[in-house]
Chains A and B, each alone.
Chain A
Amino acid sequence: MSQTQMLKGIIDGCLLAIIDEEECYGYEMATRLSHYGFSSISEGTIYPVLLRLQREELVTSTRKKSTAGPKRKYYNLTQKGEDELAIFLRNWNEISRNVNAVITREVAEEEK
Chain B
Amino acid sequence: MNAHVLSKASQQFLENLRVYLFTSGKRESEINDILQELTEHLTDAEREGKSTEEIVGQSPKAYMESLSSEMNRDYRAWGLKIIPMLLLGATSFLFIQDLLQGKFAYSIIQITGYLLFIISFLGGVLIAFNYLAKSKKSFIKEMTLLGIPVLLSMLILIGALILDQNVVSPMIEFGIVGQSLLSFLMIIFVISFSFWARTFILPIILIAFHLPPILLAYTPLTTDIQSLLATVIAFGVIILYLMFMNDEDDKKSYAT
Contacts and interface: CB of A to CB of B under 8 A. Distances in A.
A27 B44 contact: yes
A47 B66 CA distance: 9
A44 B55 contact: yes
Contacts, number: 55
Nearest to B69: A48
Given A27-B44, A51-B71, A68-B1, A73 B37 contact: yes
A73 B55 CA distance: 17
Interface of A: 25-27, 30, 42-45, 47-48, 51-52, 55, 68-70, 72-73
Nearest to A53: B70
Contact of A42 (B55, B69, B70): B55
The 8 closest A-B pairs by CB, nearest first: A42-B57, A51-B70, A48-B66, A27-B44, A44-B55, A43-B55, A48-B70, A44-B56
Interface string B218-249: 00000000000000000000000000000000
Contact of B56 (A25, A27, A30, A42): A42
A42 B41 CA distance: 12
Contacts of B71: 51
A43 B40 contact: no
A42 B13 CA distance: 15
B63 A44 contact: yes
Contact of A26 (B40, B54, B67): B40
A48 B40 CA distance: 16
A36 to B, nearest CB: 17
B168 to A, nearest CB: 57
Contacts of A47: 34, 37-38, 41, 67
Given A26-B41, A51-B34, A44 B69 contact: no
Interface string B29-48: 00001101110110011000
Given A42-B54, A44-B55, A70-B256, A51 B67 contact: yes
Contacts of A48: 66-67, 69-70
B28 interface: no
B58 to A, nearest CB: 8
Nearest to A45: B57
A72 B39 CA distance: 11
30 contacts: A26-B37, A26-B40, A26-B41, A27-B40, A27-B41, A27-B44, A30-B41, A42-B55, A42-B56, A42-B57, A42-B58, A42-B63, A43-B45, A43-B50, A44-B38, A44-B55, A44-B57, A44-B63, A45-B57, A45-B66, A47-B67, A48-B66, A48-B67, A51-B34, A51-B71, A52-B70, A70-B40, A70-B256, A73-B36, A73-B40
Contacts of A52: 70
Interface in B58-95: 58, 63, 66-67, 69-72
B203 to A, nearest CB: 36
B53 interface: yes
B50 to A, nearest CB: 8
Contacts of A27: 40-41, 44-45
Contacts of A73: 33, 36-37, 40
Contacts of B34: 47, 51
Contacts of A44: 38, 41, 55-57, 63
Of residues A25, A30, A44, A47, which shows the largest number of chain B Cβ atoms within 10 Å of its Cβ? A44
